[in-house]
Chain A
């Protein structure tokens, strides 16, 4: 496999532990992603939506709600990791490692950690590590990490 470009994996058989993916799309985070979604999900912390109140604090501006960052990073990875998903099973070790601000752009990277039996013939469990980064000058700053387990359909039912 060419390490720099490859077809997207789909079925359980396509995921091999050790595979590493760079997801093709990034997204800039702005008012719709942070302010709209933070309020939509009833998060009442005005650190995410009151620019005036935040000017006096150490960051001087609104912070993106960490789980919106996390949802976008998992979203950016979804077409390539869950296009044949039957269900999202679990998340673990979610870490918010650097602040994200309006105007920042997020990209997602994925390690395949594990591909295991699910006790059924039509699907297996794939465990991923997702890493969310934002460019800052020449650097890529890690803003989010998590592990995620997905029940993924098999291409062919196991005999």
Chain B
């Protein structure tokens, strides 16, 4: 550790395995308004060649008020907003199951994320880690459900985390 690291107190981010209890609810921080630039950039960089996401004339002809937000951008943002509470402390992302896109979202919509802990167990193959499963929801500014899914991560246990981070 550097002299700076010993003289200044670390303001730690994220939760360890022991911090989660089945049934616990999280209303995640910030929210995020997604705009046309976010959508164009994400869609271009992921090569998502569906004109609904980048051609306004095409999207209007298909019955939308304008371009549609790429659903993978919506998903990534809802997961992103949940990371500090759920997975930032460290441990591989294991998977997502039973995901539904309930309605389209459009540029200008503001997404918020919430999650409930639905399962936790110690990992047999990875000492010092446990598997935590959450049910997460992304909602728009009218509190309408946009996406929901079940997500699992390996989550570091507190003691292992202290050894790692000091």
Contact = CB atoms under 8 A, between A and B. Distances in A.
Interface string A15-49: 00000000001010000110011101111110100
What interface size band does chain A fall in?
A: 35 or more
Interface stretch (B17-25, B42-50, B127-135): B42-50
Nearest to A32: B45
Contacts of A82: 50
Query: Main SS of the interface on chain A?
Result: mixed
B48 to A, nearest CB: 4
Contact of B13 (A42, A44, A78): A44
B50 A27 contact: no
A37 B76 contact: yes
B38 interface: yes
A55 to B, nearest CB: 14
A118 interface: no
- Residue from the set A25, A32, A38, A40 with the largest chain B CB neighbour count within 10 Å: A40
Nearest to B47: A75
A87 B97 CA distance: 19
A74 B72 contact: yes
Contacts of A133: none
A68 interface: yes
A140 interface: no
B4 to A, nearest CB: 14
A42 B81 contact: yes
B84 A44 contact: yes
B41 A78 contact: no
A72 B71 contact: no
B75 to A, nearest CB: 7
A68 B43 CA distance: 11
A90 interface: yes
Interface string A73-111: 011101100110111111111111001000000000000
Interface string B42-81: 1101111110100000000010000000011101110111
Nearest 6 pairs of A and B residues by beta carbon:
A75-B46, A42-B80, A43-B80, A41-B80, A41-B76, A94-B96
